[in-house]
Structure 1
């Protein structure tokens, strides 16, 4: 009996950058700087609309991770993946039970509020965004930003 022919297709992986950062304001600030640097290395210059949008998205996702997803002594993970026409920014924190709202209000709660604008900014800068719980120990909030490559 003849065995079936097996054709192995090469695995194609999106270029990516991943790092663990401390769940502090300093870690969130560093996340934003690292995204701008990585996009520049991939050909998206500093100061462009795409770079600016990616930095805003990263700042908000990282701020939410350290504010709502922090567990003392645990880091958050930042990943930037390069796909045709877009960059996917992922921030993973150790609080899967604290999911972001599934819908974003059209405007902040009140002009005087100290918070409540983050996901509104993410939704306005990203092509799409969402949240995934991949295991019982973490959740990943992601956003995809259009990039001209």
Structure 2
């Protein structure tokens, strides 16, 4: 596949720390990437997991989480989800077979080329992931 240079793009939105907010993060990501001509199931999975984690583990009453998508000129997508709990730094867990949760960051690691966590202002944190989504044919 040949990849033409693309214009750098940026999208950011503050969402409520709720199940609805997490669902909207995934849906809006799908729509935005479609509009940019680079739909990506992997990016949707990453956003779904990071947004769910922000709601489940990064929630502070009255504060939301921020979703940011950046598509650079080379076609690399950076996904960032920032939440209000900088004291809760996520890591990959090894849940037992009977556990219902704890696999989210394994999914992120499997879908992304790389990912990580960085501190954000005011005691917050940002979990990010990068990948090169497939480009839709013009």
TM-score w.r.t. the length of structure 2 is 0.87
Cα distance between partner residues in 2 of 1:14 and 1:74: 29
1:20-35 matched pairs, under 5 angstroms: 20-35=14-29
Cα distance between partner residues in 2 of 1:21 and 1:134: 17
> In structure 2, which of residues 74, 88, 95 is the aligned counterpart of residue 98 of structure 1?
88
Provide the alpha-carbon RMSD of the alignment.
1.5
> In structure 1, which of residues 13, 16, 19 is the aligned counterpart of residue 10 of structure 2?
16
Structure exhibiting the larger radius of gyration computed from Cα positions: 1
Q: Which residue of the partner structure matches residue 70 of structure 2?
A: 81
Per-residue CA deviation, residues 72-105 of structure 1 (Å, 9 max, x unaligned), is 110100000002232111000011111112xx35
Structure 1 segments (4+ residues) deviating >3 Å? none
TM-aligned CA deviation for residue 137 of structure 1: 2.5
Cα distance between partner residues in 2 of 1:109 and 1:38: 33
Give unmatched runs, 5+ long, in structure 1: 1-12, 46-50
Q: Say if 2:19 and 2:55, in contact at 8 Å, map to a contact too.
A: yes
TM-score w.r.t. the length of structure 1 is 0.81
Cα distance between partner residues in 2 of 1:32 and 1:135: 24
